[in-house]
Amino acid sequence: MDSMSLIATASIVTAGLCMAIGSIAPALGEGNAVRQALMAIAQQPDERNTITRTLFVGLAMIESIAIYCFVISMILIFANPFWGHMVAKAGG
């Protein structure tokens, strides 16, 4: 198993797992937030504006965590410095 295929394999597997594992908690967290927002609207319809505004701010912060994972995955696939070094060395 040469160096390039090892690094490629590790990048592929890690990128996939990072996104997969990184999707668990944000999805559950957003589900909980949305769930409670619906309950809050049902209880206090007059506050629907405050509730949906707070909900969207919260969803944005939770989504940002999922996006960190997506960014790491994309870096590992398309802008991987270790792969770049190996390709440069092989081509040099």
Subset of 4-63 contacting its own copies (CB under 8 A): 4-48, 50-52, 54-59, 61-63
User: Residue 84, interface with its own copies (CB under 8 A)?
Assistant: no
Number of residues that bind its own copies (CB under 8 A): 79
Token reading at 86: 């190996």
Describe the crossing of helices 48-78 and 24-43 by its angle, rounded to 10 degrees: 170
Query: Is residue 85 a contact point for its own copies (CB under 8 A)?
Result: yes
> Is 65 a binder of its own copies (CB under 8 A)?
yes
Residue 42 sits at the vertex; the CA angle it makes with 28 and 57, to the nearest 5 degrees, is: 45
